[in-house]
Structure 1
Amino acid sequence: MNDSPGWAVPGPSPSDGERPGASDGQGGTDGAPPQPSQPAGGQKWSAEQPPPGEWSSPGAPQAPKPPQQQPQQPRPGPGWGSYGGPQGPEGGRYGYPGGPGQWGKPPAAKPGVIPLRPLDLGEILDGAVATVRSHWRSVLPITLVVATVVQVISVLVQKYALADLAVTTDPEASLQDLLDTLGGAMTALVANGFIQLIGTIIATAMVTMIFSRAVLGQGSTIGQAWREARPRLLHLLGLTLLMGLGGAALVVVLLLPGILLRNIGLGLVGGLAAVPLLIWLGIKFSLASPALMLEKAGVITSLRRSSRLVRGSWWRIFGITALTGLITAFVSAVIVYPLTALGLAIGLADGGVSGLENGTAATGWAPLILAAVGAVIAQTITMPIQAGVTVLLYVDQRIRREALDLELARAAGLENYGSDPAAPPTGG
């Protein structure tokens, strides 16, 4: 943890100040006021003493005593209750928001985009959006450059590699022609997918470093993010390829019995079984990327770390991840689909209905460029949000399980954080 580039800023340990209620040499312990000493000779004062300012001479008639009124206790403020806190005066108990039997949450330090305590769904999403909004000079240029390079290469591949692979309706086309067409298409798609993978890895690594500093309330430049992310890029590539190859191997193993036995039903059962297994493994190892980047762990170690952090919280992480995917998919659709439809309309206006039959309507310059522009805008916005949610989920799980908030507060330079025994706990 101390080697993590995101929050390994040296800082003092929480000071061991005097605990409240410690003896100071002037009175009793536990903050009790000093008791008055007894008079000389062992004589005790009377238990009923007249109030100050009402002494009278001996033999004078005594005025009737006014009835004593109990001092009114102050009413607790909103959000404070009478259960769950340490013992207070008059037998009551102090409470704090978010304590047992309380509404709300305990107050927590917030040096950066999130409070240093276990987070809920709204705080995770808000932290991701707040980071993009407050650090946009560092985040958006990274995703914009990566998305632009990826989409330019994608347009060139679709224009010059896939344009000749027109859809044919000739029933007499030979098997060799179909295999050549399929092979060319697969080669172009694999090359395009590999370029997108490299771009996504670079953007994810740099954005992860920016988010790790935003948690501490620190800014990060593009050059600083690149210097911190560059040593981990090959590890992150290896992790991504290992997870991809592992998922593909799982699908092949489940489909293999149906293929060998030439049983379509068995193949369908294997394919249906592969879907939930892939989702389960994807969530189980979803926190491996931030663990690899921020803890400088190896590929296998980061997979184990993710498995331990997700254990017991699989459904919660799945729900947050799925909701984030739905939100980003909706935002992307709102941006991409109108521009794609406009490009197709321009292609139909140029080539007519025959463009749909031979596939040239979708491979013209206007449809490709407009679709690429929409994809660039959508990826520039959604890519950092998805990466940020993953990083904040990682931070949240470590706060719940390992009290990471203490380390983060120390790295952020907060004095005496967590040293007050009366403060509500922040660890899970």
Structure 2
Amino acid sequence: MPLRPLTVGELLDAAVGLLRENAKTLLAVALVLAAVEQVALYPLRDLAAVRPPTYFPPYTDHLAEYWLMIGAGYATEVGIIALLGGLAAQAAAASITGQARTPRAMLSPGGSRLAVVAIISVLVGLLGGLGALACWVPWIFTYGLLGLAVPAAIIDGKGPLGAIGRSVVLSSRVGLRACWIRLIGYLSWLAIRMGLGFGGLAALAFFGVPYTTRWVTVTGIAVWTVVNTVAYATLACLDSVLHLETRMRTEGLDISATLARRNNRPIRLAVS
């Protein structure tokens, strides 16, 4: 990651680059979490009488169940991205300090501050789900303002509540810049996910996969699992590089890191 403030396009590129360098670990964990999410949401989707690939409600008398499914889906999305942020933040910090982290070290409960990351993930997931249930307007700000909480815990060394507060502070700087960039990243990957999700099932049908209810359900879950795996991992990486870039832009992290390198001193990322 370059030691300077970045444009929006450069931030998105840096996120993809971070994922590429740590693909095995991030994608493996993301795949497991995305699969668990699909299984967990299946009963709610069945209750709402929706089917892949669109999951749109066919009957107006199931709108209450559908709305509950929507809230649960947004809660799991936000929570999974936060969980993956624990791994992405370690990788992003290593790219600055030069202290490489092995996959085993990244997954170690102690070294990854798993308990703190889990608490933050549950909190932001619940807030994200409630925000979606409240007609999405609160979700815009809960998603935009709380995305840097896990990087703040891993990189800045904050506790759960301190990390959430730190995320709000960083995301609010420079006219809510980090907040809007995080939303841009989410919407960009939402469009990609919808295209790949809908198109993936259409491609399977083109190659002769039976278009029965059972097969559509199974293949729909499989396609969305794969698509979400990449999306969640990339968005987690975006949160981490956005956190570091915001500190460079507003706190001079790039200057202190450059001076430390020139003087052969360790780069300290934690804040008091």
| TM norm structure 1 | 0.49
Instruction: Read off the aligned partner of 2:239 and give its amino acid letter.
Output: T
Q: Which of the pair has the greater relative contact order for Cα pairs under 8 Å at 6+ separation?
A: 2
Contact 1:140 1:380 in 2 (8 A): yes
User: Matches of residues 83-94 of structure 1 in structure 2 within 5 Å?
Assistant: none
Q: Does 1:387 align with 2:248?
A: no
User: Which residue does the alignment assign to 1:63?
Assistant: none
User: Which residue does the alignment assign to 1:202?
Assistant: 83
Larger gyration radius, structure 1 or structure 2: 1
Q: Does 1:402 align with 2:263?
A: no
Contact 1:284 1:314 in 2 (8 A): no
CA shift digits 1:118-161 (9 cap, x unpaired): 2222221121111222332333222233323433x248x35xx7
Contact 2:90 2:112 in 1 (8 A): no
- Partners of 1:280 and 1:192 lie apart in 2 by 17
User: Which residue does the alignment assign to 1:374?
Assistant: 223
Secondary structure, in 3 states, of the residue corresponding to 1:295? coil
User: Which residue does the alignment assign to 1:415?
Assistant: 262
Q: Does 1:337 align with 2:198?
A: yes
User: Which residue does the alignment assign to 1:134?
Assistant: 21
1:234 to 98, 101, 115: 115
Instruction: Read off the aligned partner of 1:235 and give its amino acid letter.
Output: V
Secondary structure, in 3 states, of the residue corresponding to 1:143? helix
User: Which residue does the alignment assign to 1:304?
Assistant: 165
Contact 2:193 2:227 in 1 (8 A): yes
- Partners of 1:194 and 1:321 lie apart in 2 by 16
Instruction: Read off the aligned partner of 1:224 and give its amino acid letter.
Output: A
Deviation of 1:209 after TM superposition, in Å, equals 1.5
1:313 to 153, 170, 174: 174
**Cα gap change, 1:198/1:309 in structure 2, threshold over 3 Å: closer, same or farther?**
closer
CA shift digits 1:376-425 (9 cap, x unpaired): 221222222211111111111211232222454477xx23389xxxxxxx
Q: Which moved more, 1:122-131 or 1:186-195?
A: 186-195
Contact 1:399 1:405 in 2 (8 A): yes
- Partners of 1:335 and 1:248 lie apart in 2 by 24
| TM norm structure 2 | 0.72
Instruction: Read off the aligned partner of 1:324 and give its amino acid letter.
Output: G
What is the root-mean-square deviation of aligned Cα atoms in Å?
4.0
- Partners of 1:162 and 1:217 lie apart in 2 by 45
- Partners of 1:165 and 1:278 lie apart in 2 by 22
**Cα gap change, 1:140/1:219 in structure 2, threshold over 3 Å: closer, same or farther?**
farther
User: Which residue does the alignment assign to 1:125?
Assistant: 12
Secondary structure, in 3 states, of the residue corresponding to 2:113? helix
Secondary structure, in 3 states, of the residue corresponding to 2:94? helix
| Alignment length (residue pairs) | 254
- Partners of 1:149 and 1:303 lie apart in 2 by 26
User: Matches of residues 13-412 of structure 1 in structure 2 within 5 Å?
Assistant: 114-151=1-38, 153-154=39-40, 157-158=42-43, 199-227=80-108, 232-243=113-124, 245=126, 275=137, 277-341=138-202, 349-350=211-212, 361=213, 364=214, 366-409=215-258
Deviation of 1:225 after TM superposition, in Å, equals 0.7
**Cα gap change, 1:334/1:218 in structure 2, threshold over 3 Å: closer, same or farther?**
farther
CA shift digits 1:52-90 (9 cap, x unpaired): xxxxxxxxxxxxxxxxxxxxxxxxxxxxxxxxxxxxxxx
- Partners of 1:121 and 1:189 lie apart in 2 by 29
- Partners of 1:245 and 1:139 lie apart in 2 by 23
Deviation of 1:324 after TM superposition, in Å, equals 1.4
Deviation of 1:335 after TM superposition, in Å, equals 1.7
- Partners of 1:206 and 1:129 lie apart in 2 by 14
Identity of aligned residues (%): 21
Higher helix share: 2
Instruction: Read off the aligned partner of 1:279 and give its amino acid letter.
Output: I
**Cα gap change, 1:324/1:143 in structure 2, threshold over 3 Å: closer, same or farther?**
same
Instruction: Read off the aligned partner of 2:116 and give its amino acid letter.
Output: H
Deviation of 1:243 after TM superposition, in Å, equals 3.9
